C-alpha cells in the first residue's frame, strides 16, 4: 500500500506523523511519500520537498512563492502518474493542497482531507470544490462533520488529533514544577509556529509584557518556541527591545508551558485547542497584514477567529485581530491579562467556562479512528479493484 501525504504546517507535520504511526500499526508494509516536514520524515516519509519550510499565511506572503508552489504541484502530478499511489491524504494548508487535489484527480487517485479547511468559517461557497475534488473528509470537529455532510460531502468524524497529543504522554507534575517558581505569576506566551507569525506578533507581545511587568514585579513569562529558529528570532527581538523583560525561552516544550501557566497570551491557531484541552485561560491575538485583514473581513462568515470561541459560540477567550492600531490593542490586551492576573475570581470564572466546554467536546482516540477509517477505505478499494480485474 502506498499513501501520498501533503502537509504544509508545522502542527500538521506533527498530526500527520502520528497518523502515519497509527496507520503503519495496521499496515506494516505501507509506503509513505509526499510533501511534509521533519516529524513525518522521522516516521519514514519519502519526502519530495520539505513543504513546512514554506508555511505562510496571507496573500502578501503567498504571492512571492506562487511559482515555487506551481512547480511543486507539477512535481506531484508527475509523481502521481508515475507511481500511482493508492491515496492522497491532505492535511490543512488549503491554498496549496487544493491544487494537489486537482492534480490527484487528474491522475485518478482518490483524495482524503484530514483536518480539512474551515469552509464553514470563511468563503463557504468553496464547498463545490470540496464535492468535486475530495473523496472523503476526515473531520476533526463534530459540528464540522455535520456541516460537510449537510452539503453533500462524504465525511467521517474522527476527532481532533490535538486531544490525543495532549493526553499522550501526559505532562508530569515534576515537569510542571520544573517550570514554575515560588511566588511568581506565570504567563505563557505562544507566538505561533510560522516564522511570519513570530515576526509580526512577538514584538506586540513584548509590548504587552512590558506593560504587565510594570504592574506586576513578580511576573514571569514563559515563551514557547516551536523550533530552534523561533528561539533565535525571539531572542533577537528581545535583545532589540528597549527594556529588559522577565522572559524565559523554551524550545519544543509548548505543552509543558501551557500546563504550567496561570494564563496565556497566544497567537490564534489550532494550538488554541490544546489550551482548551488543558483548561488554560488565555487572551488571543493575531497580527496580520492590512491586505490579509481586508480579505478576512470580506470572506469571514463567523464572529470569532479562535476555535474554542467558535465552538462555544461566544467569547470565552478575549480576541484581538491586530492590524494598525497597535497601541490601543496593546492597552486592551494588557487590561484583560491584568484582570486575570489580579483577580482570582475572574481567572477561575474563565477557567470554569473553558472546563465546561472541554468536558463537552474533548475526546481522545481521533488519530486511531482516522487511521482506521483511512485503512478500511483503502483496503476496500484494493479489494474492489482486485475483483474487477478477476472478472
Question: How many angstroms separate the CA atoms of 210 and 204, rounded?
Answer: 10
Q: According to the model, what pLDDT value does residue 321 have?
A: 87
Report the 10 Å Cβ neighbour count for 314. Answer: 12
Question: How many angstroms separate the CA atoms of 326 and 338, rounded?
Answer: 18
> Is pLDDT above 80 for 297?
no
Helix (H, G, I), strand (E, B) or coil at 187: strand
DSSP state of 170: P
290, 300, 322, 365 from 297: Cα distances, Å: 10, 6, 13, 35
Residue 67 banded pLDDT, cuts 50, 70, 90: confident
Burial class, 353, CB count within 10 angstroms (exposed 0-12 / middle 13-18 / buried 19+): middle
Q: Which residues touch 196 (CB under 8 Å, ≥6 apart)?
A: 56, 57, 58, 61
Instruction: For 83-127, write each residue's pLDDT tens digit.
Output: 999 999 999 988 899 999 999 999 999 999 999 988 887 778 889
Q: According to the model, what pLDDT value does residue 323 have?
A: 63
Residue 57 banded pLDDT, cuts 50, 70, 90: low
Instruction: For 302-328, write each residue's pLDDT tens digit.
Output: 678 898 998 888 999 999 987 665 788
Render 15-82 in DSSP notation, one character per residue. Answer: HHHHHHHHHHHH-TT-EEEEE--HHHHHTT-EEEE-GGGG---SHHHHGGGHHHHHHHHHHHHHHHHH
Q: According to the model, what pLDDT value does residue 282 have?
A: 98
Lowest mean pLDDT among 105-119, 141-155, 376-390: 376-390
Instruction: For 326-352, write each residue's pLDDT tens digit.
Output: 788 999 999 999 999 999 999 999 999
Count of CA atoms in the C-beta half-sphere (13 A) of 195 = 11
Instruction: For 359-380, write each residue's pLDDT tens digit.
Output: 988 899 999 999 999 999 999 9
Beta bridge partners of 265: 189, 283
Q: According to the model, what pLDDT value does residue 121 have?
A: 76
Q: Which of 337, 67, 11 minimizes the C-alpha distance to 205?
A: 337
Q: According to the model, what pLDDT value does residue 299 have?
A: 57
Delineate the domains of the chain, giving CATH numbers in brackets: 2-166+364-390 (3.40.50.2000), 174-361 (3.40.50.2000)
Question: How many angstroms separate the CA atoms of 144 and 161, rounded?
Answer: 15
Nearest-Å Rg of the Cα atoms of the chain is 22
Contacts of 215-219 with CB under 8 Å at 24 or more apart are: 215/338, 216/185, 216/338, 216/341, 216/342, 218/183, 218/184, 218/185, 219/184, 219/185, 219/187, 219/246, 219/341
Amino acid at each position: 500500500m502506498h499513501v501520498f501525504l501533503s502537509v504544509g504546517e508545522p502542527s500538521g507535520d506533527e498530526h500527520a506523523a502520528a497518523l502515519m504511526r497509527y496507520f503503519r500499526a495496521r499496515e506494516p508494509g505501507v509506503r509513505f511519500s509526499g510533501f511534509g516536514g521533519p516529524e513525518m520524515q522521522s516516521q519514514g516519509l519519502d519526502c519530495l520537498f520539505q513543504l513546512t519550510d514554506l508555511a505562510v499565511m496571507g496573500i502578501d506572503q503567498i504571492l512571492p512563492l506562487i511559482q515555487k508552489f506551481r512547480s511543486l504541484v507539477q512535481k506531484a502530478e508527475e509523481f502521481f502518474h508515475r507511481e500511482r499511489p493508492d491515496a492522497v491524504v491532505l492535511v490543512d494548508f488549503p491554498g496549496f493542497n487544493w491544487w494537489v487535489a486537482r492534480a490527484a484527480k487528474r491522475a485518478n487517485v482518490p483524495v482524503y482531507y484530514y483536518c480539512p479547511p474551515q469552509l464553514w468559517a470563511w468563503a463557504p461557497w468553496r464547498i463545490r470544490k470540496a464535492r468535486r475534488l475530495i473523496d472523503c473528509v476526515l473531520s476533526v470537529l463534530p459540528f464540522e462533520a455535520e456541516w460537510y455532510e449537510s452539503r453533500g460531502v462524504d465525511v467521517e468524524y474522527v476527532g481532533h488529533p490535538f486531544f490525543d497529543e495532549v493526553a499522550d504522554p501526559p505532562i508530569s507534575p515534576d515537569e510542571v514544577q520544573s517550570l514554575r517558581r515560588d511566588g511568581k505569576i506565570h504567563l505563557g506566551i505562544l507566538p505561533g509556529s510560522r516564522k511570519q507569525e513570530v515576526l509580526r506578533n512577538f514584538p506586540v507581545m513584548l509590548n504587552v509584557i512590558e506593560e504587565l511587568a510594570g504592574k506586576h514585579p513578580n511576573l514571569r513569562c514563559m515563551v514557547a518556541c516551536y523550533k530552534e529558529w523561533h528561539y533565535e528570532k525571539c531572542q533577537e527581538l528581545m535583545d532589540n527591545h528597549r527594556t529588559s523583560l522577565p522572559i524565559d525561552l523554551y524550545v519544543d516544550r509548548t505543552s509543558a508551558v501551557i500546563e504550567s501557566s496561570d494564563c496565556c497570551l497566544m497567537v490564534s491557531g489550532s494550538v488554541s485547542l490544546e489550551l482548551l484541552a488543558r483548561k488554560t485561560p488565555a487572551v488571543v491575538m493575531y497580527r496580520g497584514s492590512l491586505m490579509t485583514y481586508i480579505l478576512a473581513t470580506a470572506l469571514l462568515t463567523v464572529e470569532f477567529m479562535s476555535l474554542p470561541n467558535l465552538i462555544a459560540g461566544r467569547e470565552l477567550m478575549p480576541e484581538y485581530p491586530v492590524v494598525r492600531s497597535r497601541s490601543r490593542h496593546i492597552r486592551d490586551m494588557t487590561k484583560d491579562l491584568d484582570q486575570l492576573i489580579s483577580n482570582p475570581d475572574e481567572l477561575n470564572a474563565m477557567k470554569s467556562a473553558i472546563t465546561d466546554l472541554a468536558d463537552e467536546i474533548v475526546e481522545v482516540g481521533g488519530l486511531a479512528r482516522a487511521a482506521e477509517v483511512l485503512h478500511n477505505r483503502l483496503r476496500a478499494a484494493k479489494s474492489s479493484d482486485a475483483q474487477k480485474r478477476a472478472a
